[in-house]
């Protein structure tokens, strides 16, 4: 939401980076591409050659090489959270995935939260047996829906039965279990009136079996097959009022089952929050390795340490073959993020969480008082604001006004002239 485009450079700062304690590993391979997805991934349907054992092995070699070199370059680790995402990491050959996990173990801190994403159809006992012998602590399943009526629109590999089977199977192991669910899946004409009840049915089933649910509003990304189906009239999306009503109903249902909404799209039983995602929302630096992975590195101000001097975002090349050839290459997609934009990102991410913005940390990094830089926005939305000793937050029941509130925050920052 910044008013200015980021600047792009080919060099990195020479100043000291802040400690980096989170690692994201991108595995871009998928058995098939879902109709709504516009993330970087390589599908077996389109590129079967990448699913050879040799190619997967070469990719993992590249990831381990990059992790070693970049950990040294950015003085990163040991990591208190590691997240292997994608794509679909669970489609890797089990021996290759095991080698990846064991190769990363030396970088894990004691008590590391370690997540592996999986799609239900690729979860089997042998996979879980292998992961249970490693330092992996958490499985994140891409369930999306448990409705046979909604499933065809998503064009996903697998089935509703696969989702239920995989949930039951993971529960036999000592892993934390998280699931992703989509709200707002388009339906054929004449079936949209059942949309809310379908969503609540999925959540009801899941709330009895898992301790963490991520509930995302489905976004129709331009050019995806699902967006084209909706544009043609073949499928219909719920309108904004229907979405708001369904979200309210979902909030009520999950609260009644003991879930706390700790972030706009995330619900967990107490003590089961995702620490890796909290690191993102709290704007902690993180290292991203793998083709297409993103890293956010924060550098101290050399003259006013520990204030933030520069924030840099590095996006890896979305080309798995080139990545395998040159895994440690610093790509040209390097954004130097100015202080005003960085400050807004801290506010934007913080206000997404139930805890809110850490005012003490922002004061330390930017030398500003949050209450003094966005006074009008805070005053306008005062009934929905919660203030703590070192935090300012939106009450979770007011998360629906988040976007409007953030627009006003950005307008005030633009007027304030923070450099």
Give the domain-ending residue among 230, 255, 278: 278
Query: What pLDDT was estimated at residue 46?
Result: 55
Query: What pLDDT was estimated at residue 34?
Result: 75
Tell me the helices (H) and strands (E) count for the chain, helix number first: 15, 18
330 is a domain residue: no
Based on the fold, state whether residues 271 and 190 are members of the same structural domain: yes
Based on the fold, state whether residues 106 and 251 are members of the same structural domain: yes
Query: What pLDDT was estimated at residue 1?
Result: 43
Query: What pLDDT was estimated at residue 85?
Result: 96
241 is a domain residue: yes
- Strands 308-315 and 294-300, bridge-based pairing: antiparallel
Query: What pLDDT was estimated at residue 392?
Result: 97
Range of 377's domain?
Answer: 339-419
- Alpha-carbon gap, residue 393 to 354, rounded angstroms: 7
Based on the fold, state whether residues 358 and 234 are members of the same structural domain: no
Based on the fold, state whether residues 256 and 344 are members of the same structural domain: no
DSSP state of 381: T
Based on the fold, state whether residues 135 and 231 are members of the same structural domain: yes
332 is a domain residue: no
- Strands 266-268 and 287-289, bridge-based pairing: unpaired
- Alpha-carbon gap, residue 182 to 209, rounded angstroms: 18
Residue 313's CB is within 10 A of a number of other CB atoms, namely 18
User: Which SS3 state, helix, strand or coil, does residue 112 take?
Assistant: strand
Query: What pLDDT was estimated at residue 105?
Result: 98
Strand order of the β-sheet with 357-358 is: 357-358, 391-394, 385-387
DSSP-assigned beta bridge partners for residue 187: 236
Query: What pLDDT was estimated at residue 417?
Result: 56
The pLDDT profile of the chain, 419 residues, written as one tens digit per residue, is 444 555 544 567 778 889 999 999 999 988 777 777 777 666 655 555 666 889 999 999 999 999 999 999 999 999 999 999 988 999 999 999 999 999 999 999 999 999 999 999 999 999 999 999 999 999 999 999 999 989 988 888 889 999 999 999 999 999 999 999 999 999 887 666 688 999 999 999 999 999 999 999 988 888 888 889 888 888 888 888 888 899 999 999 999 999 999 999 999 999 999 999 999 999 999 999 999 999 999 998 877 767 788 899 999 988 888 999 998 887 767 899 988 899 999 999 999 999 999 999 999 999 999 999 999 999 999 999 999 999 999 999 899 999 999 999 999 998 875 54
121 is a domain residue: yes
Per the CB < 8 A criterion, the answer to whether 109 and 141 are in contact is no
The CATH number of whichever domain residue 32 belongs to comes to 3.80.30.20
Based on the fold, state whether residues 380 and 232 are members of the same structural domain: no
Based on the fold, state whether residues 268 and 402 are members of the same structural domain: no
Choose among 298, 328, 331, 329: nearest CA to 315: 331
Give the domain-ending residue among 278, 313, 347: 278
Q: In b/e form, how buried is each residue of 182-200, taking b as 16+ CB within 10 angstroms?
A: bbbbbbeeeebeebbebbb
- Alpha-carbon gap, residue 392 to 141, rounded angstroms: 32
Tokens representing residue 46 in the block: 């389109």
Q: Give me the number of domains the chain comprises.
A: 2
């Amino acid at each position: 939401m910044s008013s200015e485009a980021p600047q792009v450079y080919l060099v990195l700062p020479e100043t000291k980076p802040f400690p980096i304690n989170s690692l994201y590993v991108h595995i871009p391979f998928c058995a098939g591409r879902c109709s709504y997805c516009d993330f970087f991934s390589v599908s077996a349907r389109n590129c079967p050659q990448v699913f050879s054992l040799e190619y997967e092995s070469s990719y993992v070699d590249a990831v381990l090489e990059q992790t070693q070199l970049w950990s040294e370059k950015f003085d990163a680790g040991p990591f208190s959270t590691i997240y292997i995402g994608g794509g679909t990491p669970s489609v890797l050959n089990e021996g290759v995935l095991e080698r990846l996990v064991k190769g990363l173990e030396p970088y894990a801190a004691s008590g590391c939260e370690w997540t592996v994403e999986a799609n239900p159809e690729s979860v089997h006992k042998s996979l879980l047996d292998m992961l249970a012998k490693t330092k992996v602590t958490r499985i994140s399943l891409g369930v999306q829906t448990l409705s046979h009526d909604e499933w065809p629109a998503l064009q996903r590999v697998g089935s509703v039965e696969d989702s239920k089977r995989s949930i039951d199977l993971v529960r036999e192991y000592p892993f934390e279990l998280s699931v992703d669910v989509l709200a707002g899946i388009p339906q054929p004409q004449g079936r949209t009136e059942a949309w809310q009840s379908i969503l609540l049915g999925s959540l009801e089933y899941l709330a009895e079996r898992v301790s963490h649910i991520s509930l995302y509003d489905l976004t129709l990304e331009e050019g995806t097959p699902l967006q084209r189906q909706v544009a043609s009239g073949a499928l219909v999306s719920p309108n904004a009022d229907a979405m708001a009503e369904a979200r309210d109903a979902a909030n009520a249902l999950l609260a009644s089952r003991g879930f706390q909404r700790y972030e706009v799209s995330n619900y967990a039983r107490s003590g089961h929050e995702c620490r890796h995602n909290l690191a993102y929302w709290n704007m902690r630096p993180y290292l991203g390795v793998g083709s297409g992975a993103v890293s956010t590195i924060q550098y101290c101000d050399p003259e006013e340490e520990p204030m933030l001097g520069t924030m840099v975002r590095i996006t890896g090349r979305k080309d798995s073959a080139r990545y395998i050839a040159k895994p440690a290459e610093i790509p040209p997609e390097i954004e130097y993020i100015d202080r005003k934009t960085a400050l807004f990102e801290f506010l934007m991410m913080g206000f997404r969480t139930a805890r809110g913005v850490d005012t003490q940390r922002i004061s330390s990094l930017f030398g500003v008082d949050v209450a003094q830089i966005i006074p009008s926005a805070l005053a306008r939305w005062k009934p929905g604001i919660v203030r703590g000793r070192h935090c300012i937050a939106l009450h979770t029941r007011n998360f629906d006004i988040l976007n409007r509130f953030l627009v006003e925050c950005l307008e005030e920052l633009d007027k304030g002239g923070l450099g």
